[in-house]
Structure 1
C-alpha cells in the first residue's frame, strides 16, 4: 500500500468509523452521568503523531471530535438523567461504600488522636 493510499484509508476510517463511535460514546456518557467531564481531544494526538508528512497536516484531513453540540441545554432531560443515576442501585452502592470509607477513616483518626497533657502549672 502506498503512503497516499494508507493515508486515505486512515482518513476514511477516522472520519467514517472512529469519530462517529467516539461521539456516540460521549453521548451515552452524557446520558448516563448527566454531565460532561474533562477530556483530551484525540485529534491533538493524531496531529502530533501524523506519519504522512508528504502533504497537508492531519487536521486538514481529519474531522474534529465535536462535543460542543452535546451541551447540557435540555434541562428536563438532564434532570431525568441525574435522577436516574441517583436511583441506580450500583451508583447508590458506590456512594454508600464511599461514605463508609470516609466514616471509617474519621473513626481511625479520632481513636488515634491523643490530646497532649503537657500543661505546666
Structure 2
C-alpha cells in the first residue's frame, strides 16, 4: 500500500469517530421565536422614539419661527425708540421748545400778486 492509501484509511477512521452533535430543535425554534419577538419589540420602541423626535423637531421649528417674528417686532420697536431718542436729543441740541399757543398770520387779498 502506498502512503496515500494509508493516509486515506486513517482519515476515514477519524471521520467515523467524529460524531455530529444533536440539535435540540425545540430549543432552536424557541430561541428563534424569542429573538424575533425581541427584534419586533425593539423595532416598535425605535419607531416610537423616531416619531417623538420628529414631533419635537417640528415643535422646535415652530418655536424658532415665532422667536424670529418676535425678534423682528422687537427690532422695529428698538429702531422706533432709537429714532425718537435721536429726535428728542436733536431738538434739545437745537434749543427747540414746545409750542404753547399758535398765532396765524392774516394775509390780505390785496397783497397777493395777480396772475393776469
**Normalised by the size of structure 1, how large is the TM-score?**
0.28
| Structure of greater Rg | 2
Instruction: Report 1 or 2 for greater relative contact order, CA contacts < 8 Å, sequence distance ≥ 6.
Output: 1
- The structure with more helix, counted as a fraction of residues: 2
User: TM-score, normalised on structure 2?
Assistant: 0.29
